[in-house]
A and B are shown apart, each in its own frame.
Chain A
Amino acid sequence: MARIELNEIAHSYLRNPKGESDYAIKRIHNVWEDGGAYALLGPSGCGKTTLLNIISGLVTPSRGRVLYDGKDVTSLPPEKRNIAQVFQFPVLYDTLTVFDNLAFPLRNRGIEPSEVTKRVHEVADILDLTPFLKKKAAGLTADAKQKISLGRGLVRSDVAAILFDEPLTVIDPHLKWHLRRKLKEIHEQLKLTLIYVTHDQTEALTFADQVVVMLEGEIVQIGTPQDLYENPEHTFVGYFIGSPGMNFLTCTLEGNVAQVDGAKIVLDEKTAALGRKAQGKLELGIRPMYLEVSPVPVENGVPAKVKVLEDQGCHKIAVLMLADKTLQAMLPEGKPVPEEKAWLVFPPQWTRLFADGRLLK
């Protein structure tokens, strides 16, 4: 187990990168603490897998250093880094039995046969693979195969970290839930450093203590799931986390009032002051959960049209039009529901301002 430090990492797959757009990883500088469960979340193509491969050593970064417990491992190949990685598709040694598959990484490192047998049985036990140990790996189901891939990572007791590259993509939904819980259990039991790449927010939020959100080769925010939900530092985080995502409205400021196509939204003094100092395109953001909707005119209420009402079982989602902008609001159970017209209230404590995508604070 180790504390992994990424020091000013940048990577380009081109030999002579020119502009910023040639870089798959633009600048990453952060620390992955020992024993943490991290999720690396971002849209496809944002550099998640590249970053993971840099940590494991499959890719050597164009710039910067990778440190394991303070030791520079940037130029070391994966087998010398003592790291485990589980890939998107199950990777198996088809001709070997499940036992031999699990034993493979240990035998390659010259571990005593008795120790190998002991470790393999322990891991098979954790992953419920014991009944299959004598079977060939090739004939098993996709989730059993992925468990074997996972087991090959767990079987080495001294790994610095286990990296997961969207490991549940090929697994059936109901088994996904089961495997995810298994991972969580393993983390609690063994206190390993786990880094889990995904583009699925549910997966990230349920798995991780800390979620690292990436966008276009950069980390935009690191935080607990709650942090990301309540205090998104980037419009992308607001939009990506939560379902439905955060509402964003382009606005201009006049004193403490944000103007959105003629509608006036009152902000708190602190937020407005930050907004007046900021440069670039201003956007106002609010979570659908915090946007209050009233069927009758209220104080500070902004009139809007109701476009659609979606019943989601435990609550309703209202799609509203404010001038030509679309907003979504979550209507709690039991509250009066607007029909055609609604008055929106933006509670100042939940209304944020973003300049060029970044939160003002």
Chain B
Amino acid sequence: MNKWGDNKAWFLVIPVLVFVAFSAIIPLMTVINYSLQDILAPGKALFVGTEWYKKVLHDYRLHDALWRQFLFSALVLLIEMPLGILIALAMPKKGWGISFSLVTLALPLLIPWNTIGTIWMIFVRPDIGLFGAAINNLGVAFDHTRRPLDAWVTVILMEVWHWTPLVALLAYAGLRAIPEVYYQAAKIDGASSWKTFYYIQLPKMRGVLTIALLLRFMDSFLIYAEPFVLTGGGPGNTTTFLSIYLVKIAVLQMDLGPGGAFSLIYFLIVLLLSFIFYQVLQRVGKGEKV
């Protein structure tokens, strides 16, 4: 009896297969298709092999955008992870304060992403923005449209404001799941609050923090809407992140070949880094050598 062919269970997999095909496989194949051809006109294409990949990999503007992207993600993670944990530790553990702080924290997460860009664009405007005008009046020259450092500070602040709540909420969930008895044992053992944090809370939060780290890495590495609205990639190219640059090539210039090659490389970088992060954190959890 043919165990594989006769198995009716295959029918149960079909809906998922169709869904994944349309949501992932077919679009991905299209992109691969673009990246290997030079499309001259609709219906007229030339196979170019790895030509576009070579071109894209030698594009110095892409290199710049890539380093910018690494720096951005690194800064964002370095600020958001500890800050999120600190907020979670400071959140109330009982009473009405819980729902109050949860709702307050969740607010930035509920706002559409391009609206966030708009809010911050107005907020930091040197002439009328609450933050921009105030800080200029205090004598600090601040203009995110002209000074690269100010633009970076603004983008990072915006990102931190927008996404730290996610880290805080996840960390809070992790903290609440720690049984009371661990704290009691730590008290009996005479552990300081730092040691309680380091040896109990942090290891017990590892699972949720892994998820937070992966989500935050991927999201920050793929960031588009907020900086696009806020700075449009400027001043100059100083806040042109990978996705902004990709949109410039693929959509604004309609260079589908290089755009496709770029997308695939971009996708592979995110996949590879997420995989490395995950593996490292798993090993840390099991107490193996990293």
Q: Are A95 and B192 in contact (CB under 8 A)?
A: no
Q: Are B191 and A138 in contact (CB under 8 A)?
A: no
Task: Give the contact stretch, choosing among A75-83, A238-246, A274-282.
Answer: A75-83
Closest to B202 in A: A95
Closest to A95 in B: B203
Q: Are A58 and B190 in contact (CB under 8 A)?
A: no
- Among B184, B189, B200, point to the contact of A105 (Cβ < 8 A): B189
The smallest C-beta distance from B186 to any residue of chain A, in angstroms, reads 8
Using a CB-CB cutoff of 8 Å, which residues 202-238 of chain A contact chain B? none
CA distance A93 to B200 in the complex (A): 6
- Among B185, B195, B203, point to the contact of A91 (Cβ < 8 A): B185
Q: Are A91 and B182 in contact (CB under 8 A)?
A: yes
Q: How large is the interface on B (under 10, 10 to 19, 20 to 34, 35 or more residues)?
A: 10 to 19
Chain B 279-290: CB-based contact to A (< 8 A → 1; otherwise 0): 000000011000
Is B146 part of the contact surface with A, judged by Cβ < 8 Å?
no
Chain A 53-95: CB-based contact to B (< 8 A → 1; otherwise 0): 1001010000000000000000001110001110111010111
Q: Are B199 and A85 in contact (CB under 8 A)?
A: no
Query: Which residues of chain A are near B190, meaning CB under 8 Å?
Result: 79, 105, 108-109
Using a CB-CB cutoff of 8 Å, which residues 171-225 of chain B contact chain A? 179, 181-182, 184-185, 187-192, 195, 199-200, 203-204
Is A187 part of the contact surface with B, judged by Cβ < 8 Å?
no
Q: Are A94 and B195 in contact (CB under 8 A)?
A: no
Chain A interface residue count, CB cutoff 8 Å, equals 26
The smallest C-beta distance from B130 to any residue of chain A, in angstroms, reads 43
Q: Are B189 and A87 in contact (CB under 8 A)?
A: no
Query: Which residues of chain B are near A58, meaning CB under 8 Å?
Result: 184, 187-188
Query: Which residues of chain B are near A79, meaning CB under 8 Å?
Result: 187-190
Is A104 part of the contact surface with B, judged by Cβ < 8 Å?
yes
The smallest C-beta distance from A195 to any residue of chain B, in angstroms, reads 14
Is A184 part of the contact surface with B, judged by Cβ < 8 Å?
no
Known: A95-B203, A96-B199. A136 touches B287 (CB 8 A): yes
Q: Are A104 and B191 in contact (CB under 8 A)?
A: yes
Q: Are A149 and B185 in contact (CB under 8 A)?
A: yes
The smallest C-beta distance from A259 to any residue of chain B, in angstroms, reads 52
Closest to A159 in B: B188
CA distance A96 to B182 in the complex (A): 15
CA distance A267 to B190 in the complex (A): 58
Query: Which residues of chain B are near A96, meaning CB under 8 Å?
Result: 199
The smallest C-beta distance from A110 to any residue of chain B, in angstroms, reads 10
Closest to A137 in B: B287
Known: A93-B199, A93-B200, A96-B199. A108 touches B192 (CB 8 A): yes
Query: Which residues of chain B are near A105, meaning CB under 8 Å?
Result: 188-190
Q: Are B187 and A78 in contact (CB under 8 A)?
A: yes
Query: Which residues of chain B are near A147, meaning CB under 8 Å?
Result: none
CA distance A87 to B187 in the complex (A): 13
Is A48 part of the contact surface with B, judged by Cβ < 8 Å?
no
- Among B181, B188, B191, B195, point to the contact of A83 (Cβ < 8 A): B188
- Among B184, B185, B287, point to the contact of A95 (Cβ < 8 A): B287
CA distance A58 to B189 in the complex (A): 12
Using a CB-CB cutoff of 8 Å, which residues 138-184 of chain B contact chain A? 179, 181-182, 184
Which of B187, B189, B286 is the most central at the interface, judged by chain A CB atoms within 10 Å of its CB? B189
Closest to A135 in B: B287
Is A11 part of the contact surface with B, judged by Cβ < 8 Å?
no
Q: Are A108 and B181 in contact (CB under 8 A)?
A: no
Q: Are A85 and B195 in contact (CB under 8 A)?
A: no
CA distance A87 to B179 in the complex (A): 12
The smallest C-beta distance from A27 to any residue of chain B, in angstroms, reads 25
Query: Which residues of chain A are near B182, meaning CB under 8 Å?
Result: 91
Using a CB-CB cutoff of 8 Å, which residues 101-133 of chain B contact chain A? none
Which of B179, B192, B286, B287 is the most central at the interface, judged by chain A CB atoms within 10 Å of its CB? B287
Q: Are A108 and B191 in contact (CB under 8 A)?
A: yes
Query: Which residues of chain B are near A352, meaning CB under 8 Å?
Result: none
Chain B 64-93: CB-based contact to A (< 8 A → 1; otherwise 0): 000000000000000000000000000000
Known: A91-B182, A95-B199. A85 touches B287 (CB 8 A): no
Query: Which residues of chain B are near A139, meaning CB under 8 Å?
Result: 286-287
CA distance A142 to B228 in the complex (A): 54
Q: Are A104 and B184 in contact (CB under 8 A)?
A: no
Chain A 292-321: CB-based contact to B (< 8 A → 1; otherwise 0): 000000000000000000000000000000
CA distance A109 to B189 in the complex (A): 9
Is A199 part of the contact surface with B, judged by Cβ < 8 Å?
no
The smallest C-beta distance from A277 to any residue of chain B, in angstroms, reads 48
Q: Are B287 and A78 in contact (CB under 8 A)?
A: no
Chain B positions near chain A (C-beta within 8 angstroms): 179, 181-182, 184-185, 187-192, 195, 199-200, 203-204, 286-287
19 A-B pairs with C-beta separation under 8 A: A58-B187, A78-B184, A78-B188, A79-B188, A79-B190, A85-B184, A87-B181, A87-B185, A93-B200, A95-B199, A96-B199, A104-B191, A104-B199, A105-B188, A108-B192, A138-B286, A138-B287, A139-B286, A152-B189
Give the 6 A-B residue pairs with the shortest CB-CB distance, closest first.
Answer: A136-B287, A91-B185, A79-B190, A108-B190, A105-B189, A93-B199
